């Protein structure tokens, strides 16, 4: 797993979505199925990924089946960057 | 006046080939459903219910995903003479255990005899239905497989055809344990009176096309985005709220391709769409067909209108299309409507007079010129408030503003909004106690605060401790209960309330909870790191409330014992604690 992508995404989620200053997100922590990221923020996450990695995540993919953890999201980004 | 089944019969006979609904999906092409198809599908559900011996007047709960079955099951229940109530279904985040508890809470009061649901959900419903009044659990797929296609509806055999107008036609619930125990019961007569008055207020006509993404378990979605178009023969373009929230641009594309004229949304959606829609997704989109985008269901802000207009004017959105309404299930839907034949009124008032004396004093013309509608900047003029009118009461609905003693207040004085109409609720279903409490000499006490000026209603706040997030009513006691279950929290020493967030255009939920250090120490000797403990508690409260309710909880403040203010009877005073929170933590 790319540590830079991981830490950037983690930081983005903690600060911009969760609005918490002290919090870490484990690579295997459930994000969507747990409700940590609610549906109103999924589109933000998709736009962030697109702006920073030029990787498109379709709106039909914004669910826990496509990715639910940072680990899975980073893999998805890496696959599509290539 | 006809009842709902009789009106459906007329539509079936007079306009069988007219498309009633265009259903939109994210992964498949649009589905056009004619009145004939709609009624054939509905008649199947009526047949299944009859076979299951579900009788007229009994309540049938619908918990179905977006799709044709949700629509046909709803009308099928009415064709059978029974009473439908649409509930949200289990989402990814909600814990099944909590959902089961909510269903059980609902079943206890409402005593439904049947539940219609999707096959994946049968197990949950079965568990929740044990030892209740529920006699039949019907799967949508089973209906499709078991009942053969209907080629002609025999209305004379449908028991709904003879339902008296004063009978209850449907129930509406809001979410959470508290909301589910309080079903608003509406009669055929009330529904049609509302549709008549509201159609006139909207100047509804046969060029109209309604486009909606609103859930049907919500008042605004059920009435404005479902019953109104179908019963008034106006085409409806309906997308799922789940698809909208992931791709709000699809709504705008749908408005453009179907030439939508009317669309209802809660205030937060104006901000959400402006902030989360990219121009590249709007190529070729033309919004000029829209004659009214109606802001409703939560406090309305002119800044949200401005943000929406700024973003979409380039796509043909007209400034005079921005409209407002004040609505509630207890009046079927609309109480007022503004912005149809003239732009929504903006009342520029003096902030000090409003805050200190609860009077909406208009500021002089000099200020008004500086504060022209959609061009002003409130920040430069901190002593002024821009109030957005909710419009005038619709026909046969009367509004009064009352003080604490129930006495009428003069124009421009803020008090509780009371209403009386020909489309009021029959009552809260099986809750005569709540019904009696809500009505004062035939007037429904809304619990909302507002003032009247030149015949226009301005809604300014709430008397009741209700939180409204994205148009959804959230009862603070449900959230407080969830938070109280966290270890280390004093039961009953929790306050939940809403704080308006200007960026999102809706309320953020805040929970303040008192920690019980003594008990923490006793249970976990040696864990002296208080900072760690409070963080763990806050995280647990967030998780529990998020998984147990409709909202994602972000703001939790764990405070020392005796931080929370209490009333003389020892109850946590939410309003006072909200003020204290704002003065101590605001900006945190």
pLDDT tens-digit series, residues B238-253 = 999 999 999 999 999 9
The hierarchical CATH code for the domain B36-182 is: 3.40.50.980
Answer for the pair B496, B511: CB distance below 8 angstroms, yes or no.
Answer: yes
- pLDDT of residue B370 exceeding 70: no
Contacts 24+ apart (CB under 8 A), B140-143: B140/B64, B140/B69, B140/B73, B140/B116, B143/B44, B143/B45, B143/B48, B143/B69, B143/B73
**Tokens describing residue B407:** 């006495």
pLDDT at B588: 45
Are A19 and B27 a contacting pair at CB < 8 A?
no
Question: Which member of A20, A34, A41 has the closest CB to residue B93?
Answer: A34
Q: What is the mean pLDDT of chain B?
A: 92
* Closest among B292, B276, B274 to B224, alpha carbons compared: B292
Phi/psi at B559 (5° precision): -120, 165
Which has the closest alpha carbon to B262: B304, B308, B206?
B206
Which residue of A40, A45, A49, A50 is the best one to mutate when testing the B interface, meaning the one whose CB has the most B CBs within 10 A?
Answer: A40
pLDDT higher than threshold 90 for residue A1: no
How far does chain B reach from its first CA to its final CA, in angstroms? 57
Partners of residue A37 in chain B, C-beta under 8 Å:
552
Structure tokens at B550: 């409709």
Nearest neighbour of B93 by CB, restricted to A20, A33, A62: A33
Q: Domain B467-585 class? A: alpha beta
User: Per-residue pLDDT averaged across B204-232, rounded?
Assistant: 97
Buried b (16+ CB within 10 A) or exposed e, B22-36: bbbebeeeeeebbbb
Contact across the interface for B93 and A47, Cβ inside 8 Å: no
- Summarised one tens digit per residue, pLDDT across range A30-41 is 999 888 998 899
pLDDT at A66: 94
Gap between the Cα atoms of B55 and B49, Å rounded: 8
pLDDT tens digit string along B185-199?
999 999 999 999 999
CA distances from residue A12 to A7, A80, B273, B400, B414 in whole angstroms, order as listed? 8, 20, 21, 48, 43
Rounded CA-CA distance B60/B171 in Å is 10
Residue B94 has pLDDT above 90, yes or no: no
Alpha carbon distances (Å) from B336 to B124, B171, B212, B360, B425? 40, 22, 20, 19, 16
The DSSP letter of residue B54 is P
Instruction: Work out the average pLDDT over B156-174.
Output: 96
Are A59 and B94 in contact (CB < 8 Å)?
no
- How close B91 gets to chain A, by Cα (Å)? 9
d(CA B412, CA B94): 43
User: Quick check: B245 contacting A, CB < 8 Å?
Assistant: yes
Grade residue B585 by pLDDT with cuts at 50, 70 and 90.
Answer: confident
Task: Please give, rounded to a whole number of angstroms, the shortest distance from the CA of B329 to a CA of chain A.
Answer: 25
Share of chain B above pLDDT 70, in %: 94
Instruction: Work out the minimum CA distance from A35 to partner chain B, whole angstroms.
Output: 5
Would you list which residues of chain A are within 8 Å, Cβ to Cβ, of chain B?
18-20, 22-23, 32-44, 47, 59-60, 62-64
Distance CA B77, CA B554 (A): 40
Note whether A43 contacts B543, CB cutoff 8 Å: no
Strand, coil or helix: B479: helix
Instruction: Please write the tens of the pLDDT for every residue from B450-495.
Output: 999 999 999 999 998 999 999 989 999 999 999 999 999 988 899 9
* Band of residue B165 on the pLDDT scale cut at 50, 70, 90: very high
* Torsion on CA atoms B105, A30, A46, B247, rounded to nearest 10: -20
What CATH class is the domain B345-462?
Answer: mainly beta
Handedness of CA B110, B329, B509, B63 (dihedral sign): positive
Is there a contact between B438 and B418 (Cβ–Cβ < 8 Å)? Answer: no
Q: Is the pLDDT of residue B366 over 80?
A: no
Q: Check CB contact under 8 Å for B242 and A39.
A: yes
- Give B121's pLDDT tier (boundaries 50, 70, 90): confident
How many angstroms separate the CA atoms of B338 and B390, rounded?
6
Whether the Cβ atoms of residue B388 and residue B296 lie closer than 8 Å to each other: no
Distance from CA of B59 to the nearest CA of A (A): 31
pLDDT value of residue B362: 93
pLDDT in tens, B374-420: 444 555 555 899 999 999 999 999 999 999 999 999 999 999 999 99
- For the beta carbon of residue B565, count every other beta carbon within 10 angstroms: 15
Q: Model confidence at B222, in pLDDT bands (50, 70, 90)?
A: very high
The pLDDT assigned to B317 comes to 98
- C-beta separation of B484 from B494 below 8 A: yes
The answer, yes or no, to whether residue B587 has pLDDT greater than 60, is no
- Does residue B328 come out as left (phi exceeding 0), alpha (psi in the -120 to 50 range) or beta? beta
Q: Which residues of A touch B26 (CB under 8 A)?
A: 59-60
Section A43-60 average pLDDT: 94
Between chain A and chain B, the number of residue pairs with CB atoms below 8 A apart is 56
pLDDT band at B147 (very low <50, low <70, confident <90, very high): confident
pLDDT at B545: 93
Q: Is-contact B209 B135, C-beta < 8 A? A: no
Binned at pLDDT 50, 70 and 90, residue B81 comes out as very high
Those of residues 262-301 in B touching chain A at CB distance below 8 A are 272, 276, 278
The pLDDT, as a whole number, for residue B382 is 58
DSSP state of B362: B
A44: number of Cβ within 10 Å:
16
B248–A contact, CB cutoff 8 A: yes
The arithmetic mean of pLDDT across residues B489-505, rounded, is 93
Distance CA B294, CA B323 (A): 5
Closest CA to B484 of B541, B412, B410: B541
Nearest chain B residue (CA) to A22: B535
Mean pLDDT over B277-306 rounds to 96
Give yes or no for residue B298 having a pLDDT over 50: yes
B250/B240 Cα distance (integer angstroms): 11
Set of chain A residues whose Cβ sits within 8 Å of the Cβ of B245: 39-40, 42-43
Same CATH fold assignment for domains B36-182 and B467-585:
no
Every domain of chain B and the residues it spans = 36-182, 345-462, 467-585
Contact B388, B301 (CB under 8 A): yes
Residues in chain B within 8 Å Cβ distance of A42: 245-246
Compute the average pLDDT of residues B88-93: 71
Task: Name the residue ranges covered by the structural domains of chain A.
Answer: 3-81
Looking at the predicted complex, does its ipTM rise above 0.85?
A: yes
Give yes or no for residue B218 having a pLDDT over 80: yes
pLDDT of residue B300: 95
Domain A3-81, what fold?
1.10.1200
> Residues B20-25: what's their mean pLDDT?
98
- Residue B21 sits at φ, ψ, to 5 deg, of -135, 135
Report the alpha-carbon distance of residue B562 to residue B515 in Å, rounded: 9
Q: Inter-axis angle of helices B4-14 and B68-79, to 10 degrees?
A: 120
Report how far apart, in Å, the C-alpha atoms of B404 and of each of B329, B407, B573 are: 24, 7, 18
Do B390 and B458 form a contact (C-beta atoms < 8 A)? Answer: yes
């Amino acid at each position: 797993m790319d540590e830079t992508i991981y830490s950037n995404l983690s930081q983005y989620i903690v600060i911009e979505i969760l609005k918490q200053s002290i919090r870490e997100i484990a690579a295997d922590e459930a994000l969507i199925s747990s409700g940590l990221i609610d549906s109103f923020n999924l589109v933000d996450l998709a736009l962030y990924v697109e702006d920073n990695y030029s990787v498109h995540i379709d709106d039909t993919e914004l669910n826990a089946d496509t990715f639910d953890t940072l680990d899975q999201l980073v893999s998805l980004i890496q696959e599509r960057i290539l | 006046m006809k009842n709902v089944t009789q009106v459906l019969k007329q539509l079936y006979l007079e306009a069988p080939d007219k498309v009633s609904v265009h259903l939109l999906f994210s992964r498949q092409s649009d589905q056009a459903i004619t009145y004939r198809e709609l009624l054939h599908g509905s008649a199947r559900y009526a047949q299944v219910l009859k076979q299951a011996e579900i009788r007229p007047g009994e309540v049938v709960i619908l918990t179905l995903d977006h799709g044709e079955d949700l629509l046909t099951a709803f009308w099928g229940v009415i064709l059978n003479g029974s009473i439908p109530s649409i509930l949200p279904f289990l989402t990814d985040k909600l814990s099944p255990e909590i959902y089961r508890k909510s269903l059980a809470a609902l079943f206890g009061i409402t005593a439904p005899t049947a539940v219609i649901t999707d096959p994946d959900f049968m197990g949950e419903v079965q568990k929740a239905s044990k030892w209740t009044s529920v006699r039949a659990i019907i799967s949508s797929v089973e209906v499709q497989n078991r009942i053969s296609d209907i080629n002609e509806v025999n209305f004379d055999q449908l028991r709904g055809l003879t339902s008296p107008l004063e009978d209850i036609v449907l129930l509406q619930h809001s979410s959470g344990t508290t909301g589910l125990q309080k079903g608003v019961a509406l009669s055929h007569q009330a529904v049609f009176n509302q549709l008549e008055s509201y159609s006139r207020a909207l100047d509804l006509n046969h060029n109209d096309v309604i486009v909606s993404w609103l859930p049907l378990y919500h008042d605004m979605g059920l009435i404005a985005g479902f019953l109104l178009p179908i019963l008034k023969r106006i085409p409806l373009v309906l997308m799922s709220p789940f698809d909208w929230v992931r791709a709000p641009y699809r709504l705008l594309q749908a408005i453009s391709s179907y030439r939508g004229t009317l669309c209802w949304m809660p205030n937060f959606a104006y901000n959400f769409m402006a902030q989360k829609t990219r121009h590249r997704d709007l190529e070729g989109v033309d919004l000029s067909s829209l004659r009214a985008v109606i802001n409703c269901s939560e406090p309305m802000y002119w800044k949200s209108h401005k943000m929406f207009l700024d973003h979409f004017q380039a796509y043909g959105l007209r400034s005079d299309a921005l409209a407002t309404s004040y609505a509630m299930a207890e009046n079927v839907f609309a109480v007022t409507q503004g912005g149809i034949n003239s732009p929504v009124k903006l009342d520029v008032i003096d902030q000090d007079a409003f805050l200190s004396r609860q009077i909406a004093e208009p500021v002089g013309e000099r200020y008004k010129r500086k504060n022209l509608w959609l061009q002003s900047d409130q920040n430069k003029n901190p002593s002024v408030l821009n109030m957005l009118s909710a419009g005038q009461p619709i026909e046969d609905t009367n509004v009064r503003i009352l003080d604490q003693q129930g006495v009428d207040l003069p124009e421009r004085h803020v008090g509780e909004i009371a209403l009386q109409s020909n489309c009021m609720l029959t009552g809260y279903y099986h809750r005569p106690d709540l019904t009696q409490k809500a009505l004062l000499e035939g007037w429904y006490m809304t619990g909302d605060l507002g003032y009247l000026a030149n015949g226009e209603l301005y809604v300014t706040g709430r008397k009741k401790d209700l939180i409204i997030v994205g148009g959804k009513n959230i009862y603070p006691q449900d959230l407080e209960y969830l938070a109280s279950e966290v270890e280390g929290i004093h039961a009953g020493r929790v306050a939940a309330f809403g704080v308006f967030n200007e960026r999102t255009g809706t309320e953020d939920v805040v929970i303040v909870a008192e920690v019980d250090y003594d008990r923490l120490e006793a249970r976990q000797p040696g864990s002296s790191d208080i900072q760690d403990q409070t963080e763990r508690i806050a995280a647990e409260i967030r998780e529990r409330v998020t998984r147990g309710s409709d909202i994602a909880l972000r703001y939790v403040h764990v405070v020392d014992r005796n931080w929370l203010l209490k009333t003389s009877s020892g109850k946590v005073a939410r309003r006072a604690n909200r003020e204290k929170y704002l003065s101590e933590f605001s900006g945190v």
